[in-house]
Amino acid sequence: MKKLKSGFWEMVLSLTLISALVAIMLGFSYIKTSVLVSDLAEKNRRDGILEVVVPNNINSSDYFIGESELIDESTLYNVYAISDSSLVGTAVVSSDNGFGGNLTIMFGFDTTGVITGYKVLEHSETPGLGAQVTDWFKRGTGVSSSGGYSYERKKTVMNFLFGKFAASAHNIIGLDMSAGKASLSKDGGTIDAITASTITSRAFMRALKKSYSAVNPNAAVDAATGATGSAADAETGATTVASDDSAQQPTLTFERKKRFLRR
């Protein structure tokens, strides 16, 4: 059999054809993969929004999410009921500088300003300390339900030793942001900071107030502590609900309940 001669141009042509074929295959793979990645990202975004706005019913077939809206530095998503197109709640993504870097959180609010949930989207906080921000502010009293003394027993011991007892309170789920000043106990509020992580806790609170301000532009935010109030009451820390001349808007107050530690 006669051996084929392969010159320089024949080799260039062969390599060009092979390279073109590989490029086409990679292009098709990229397009297909990018579509899958985009669909997955959209599903995760949708699931995250429903998780913080309607945590007890995240059946996606019951709701539709409006177009994103950028307000100041926050991104807002309105959630509507498919049955009657009524507004169910709002998810807002806000960021602030934590101890280790950027802290990005999605908060959920119902139509009256009550916090329905939150989800940390990005953080670089210290493991075991600031990293607890992912669930610290939705843990109830922060005491494990799997063990430990009961509330009454702890209260008796603490009263005997120190003459007082104060259960930890850092669960913000159900907090009515329109009812009053919401800030850390270290800043004159009632919410306990993450243990040994005040910087992270304050960043969390500032992000929360940014999110609420996006939902309610009348709310003023203290840049240092994240304390909220109306524009008129920014210095005193008091909070009022804006009213309309034609119709008085109802004010729903937040009734703080004592959370008992369970054995």
- Residue 147 has a pLDDT of 33
Task: Give domain status of residue 181, yes or no.
Answer: yes
Got the DSSP string for 136-201? GGGSTTS--TTSS--HHHHHHHHHHHHS---------TT-BTTSS---BGGGTSSBPPPTT-HHHH
Residue 84: which pLDDT band, with cuts at 50, 70 and 90? very high
Distances in Å between the alpha carbon of 86 and those of 66, 116, 130, 157, 198?
A: 12, 17, 38, 51, 39
Residue 59 pLDDT > 50: yes
Task: Give domain status of residue 249, yes or no.
Answer: no
Mean of pLDDT over the chain = 74
Average pLDDT over residues 98-124: 94
- Residue 2 has a pLDDT of 56
Which of 168-177, 181-190, 216-225 comes out lowest in average pLDDT?
A: 216-225
Task: Give domain status of residue 160, yes or no.
Answer: yes
Which residues constitute the domain of residue 63? 48-233
Task: Give domain status of residue 258, yes or no.
Answer: no
Task: Give domain status of residue 163, yes or no.
Answer: yes
Total domains, the chain: 1
With CA atoms as reference, report the closest residue to 65 among 73, 138, 113, 75: 75
Task: Give domain status of residue 6, yes or no.
Answer: no
- Residue 141 has a pLDDT of 46
| Dist CA 27 CA 76 (whole Å) | 35
Distance from CA of residue 95 to its chain's centroid? 9
